[in-house]
Structure 1
Amino acid sequence: MPALSVVVPVFNERDNIPPLLAEIAAALRGRVDFEIVYVDDASKDDSLAVLAAAKAAYPELRVVRHLAQSGQSTAIRNGVKAARGAWIATLDGDGQNDPADIPKLLAMRDESPAAIKLYAGWRVNRRDSGSKRWASKWANAIRSRLLRDDTPDTGCGIKLFERASFLDLPYFDHMHRFLPALMQRAGWQVKSVPVNHRPRGSGISKYNNLNRALVGIADLRGVAWLIKRSKRTATEEV
């Protein structure tokens, strides 16, 4: 069984798949036993065909296909459910996350307390448009004030977390944007780690500032309610 599963959700990312696969393999081969789980969210281009062809060059690659488009959070969760590794690393499929940062996250995990179950990437030098950086800055400030998750960047796609802890979290659409708060709600600790950030390799973004804001308001209220209503009780076997 692999020690690590790299989960990558994609929707219409056919040109970004080959270079990102090559970078993942270069970063991890010889360092850790790993698998790569791509989840195709019912792409309308030939992303699925590109992934199928890539299996010949990457024996670590497994492909999960959504029969209907379901969004990034569902793709991540289904990838984690299909994964066999005890720890999961996630990457966005557009190439903006650098797979070379995964070994750094693993090294950070190995020297940290076991209570830390999520290592969240922190894009200290973002390579996005000015409007996107501005919107993200304000969204992070509002989220941090409301949820008190003590995390400077929850939108970064590169993360490392324990599979069992993730699957124990409440599931809802867009949950991937609130993993630090949800992990803390479950009683675990979170550490933010500075990571590289790059321009999109090819294609166009699937989000804009308006649709992020509209779903973000409802999600923030929902997560705040979950935190307020949470209750943890220590147990022992007798």
Structure 2
Amino acid sequence: MKTPFISVVIPCRNEAANLAFLLDEVDAAMQGRDYEVIVVDDGSTDSTGEVLARRIKAGSPLRHIRHDRSSGQSAAVRSGVFAARGDIIVTMDGDGQNDPAYLPLLVDALVAAGPKFGIAAGQRLKRTDTRLKQLASRFANKLRGALLKDKTRDSGCGLKALHTELFRQLPFFDGWHRYLPALALREGYDVVHVDVIDRERRHGKSNYGILDRGLRGILDLYGVWWLRKRRKVVPQITEIKHD
């Protein structure tokens, strides 16, 4: 199997201070591999553009995709997915809490798992969020697992690797990035997991609240459950040649 070209997709909004060190860590983690980094700037109003421009002019394998207005994390991930040139896409958050050291581990886990596996999903250990956010996430993950049976303890982790062709086939909706394992299973693929350790955010604060995410998540959860129920059989497709 040829060595895959990898696209690292980083959605962000007003994360200039974190990108300044995070992109150095991504380059160090991906050293020796064929890769590109796509930062999707989701309508930032800080100096994100200047940070990226300096790096691109210095020769970094970096691309800057910009939304003219903030459209949300799912939309930013999707823009990066369709801009990607790689065979495999790895996603991570732009706030610095995801450690780029796990990027190559996710890619290797996906490749080693074989063609029946469509996604390598990071699962966080030793969460650094507030106690309230940890409890909310724990409840949401248990409910999601019970309804979707997506074989994943922590679907909200930003660290994930997917084959590009599969990623582009997944049905899109706002909140989509939190249900990628279930959506990959819906397409007939399996999930492999990589345990990761979260870090403290160095600068800034989260761009979303627990209540907003929780209320939207109920509707999203029902929608993904419905999508999975409406695809009961995934056939193996082959073309038969008749000479």
Structure 1 residue runs without a partner (length 5+): none
- Please give the alpha-carbon distance, in whole angstroms, between the structure 2 residues aligned to 1:58 and 1:227: 44
Q: Is the 8 A contact 1:101 1:196 kept in 2?
A: no
TM-score (norm 2): 0.94
CA contact (8 A) 2:4 2:88 kept: no
Equivalent position amino acid for 2:79 in 1: N
- Decide whether the 8 Å contact of 1:169 with 1:183 is kept in 2: yes
Matched, 1:134 2:164: no
Partner of 1:23: 25
Per the TM alignment, residue 13 of structure 1 is displaced from its structure 2 partner at its CA by 0.6
Question: Which secondary structure state, in structure 2, belongs to the residue aligned with residue 55 of structure 1?
Answer: helix
Please give the per-residue CA displacement for 1:172-206, whole angstroms capped at 9, x wherever unaligned.
11100000000000101111210121011210001
Letter in 2 for 1:51: L
* 1:219 equivalent in structure 2: 220
SS of 2:85 mapped into structure 1? coil
1:199-210 equivalent positions in 2, closer than 5 A: 199-210=200-211
Report the Cα distance in structure 1 between the residues aligned to 2:220 and 2:176, rounded to whole angstroms.
8
Aligned to 2:61: 60
Give the Cα–Cα distance (whole angstroms) in 1 for the partners of residues 43 and 77 of structure 2: 14
Q: Is the 8 A contact 1:152 1:192 kept in 2?
A: no
Contact persistence 1:91–1:157 (CA under 8 A): yes
Partner of 1:119: 120
User: Are 1:8 and 2:10 matched, yes or no?
Assistant: yes
Q: Deviations over 1:42-73 (max 9, x none)?
A: 11212122211221335200000011211111
- Paired with 1:121 and 1:85, the residues of 2 have a C-alpha distance of 20
2:110–2:192 contact (8 Å) kept in structure 1: no
RMSD: 1.4
More displaced 10-residue stretch of structure 1: 99-108 or 35-44 = 99-108
Please tell me whether the aligned partners of residues 10 and 91 of structure 2 are also in contact (alpha carbons under 8 angstroms): yes
Query: CA separation in 2, counterparts of 1:200 and 1:20?
Result: 11
CA distance in 1, matches of 2:4, 2:45: 31
| Structure 1 residue 97: Cα displacement | 0.4
* Percentage of pairs with the same residue: 46
Other-structure match for 2:238? 236
Deviations 1:148-195 (A, max 9, x none): 111000000011111100101111111000000000001011112101
Answer yes or no: is the 8 Å Cα contact 2:109–2:192 preserved in 1. no
Report the equivalent of 1:172.
173
Q: Which amino acid in 2 is paired with 1:128?
A: D
Residue in 1 that maps onto 2:92: 91
Q: Partner letter of residue 26 of structure 1?
A: A
Q: Secondary structure at the match of 2:21?
A: helix
What amino acid is aligned across from residue 207 of structure 1 in structure 2?
Y
- The C-alpha deviation readout for 1:18-62, integer Å capped at 9, x for no partner, is 1000000111122x1000000000112121222112213352000
C-alpha offsets along residues 55-106 of structure 1, whole Å, 9 cap, x if unaligned? 1335200000011211111110110110100101111000000001112222
Secondary structure of the 1:205 match is: coil
Equivalents in 1 of 2:129, 2:182: separation in Å? Answer: 24
Equivalents in 1 of 2:117, 2:194: separation in Å?
12
Partners in 2 of 1:106 and 1:42 — Cα distance? 29
Per-residue Cα deviation, 1:96-149 (whole angstroms, up to 9, x for no partner): 000011122223233222211100001011111111111100000000011111
Kept in 2, the 8 Å contact 1:126–1:133? The answer is yes
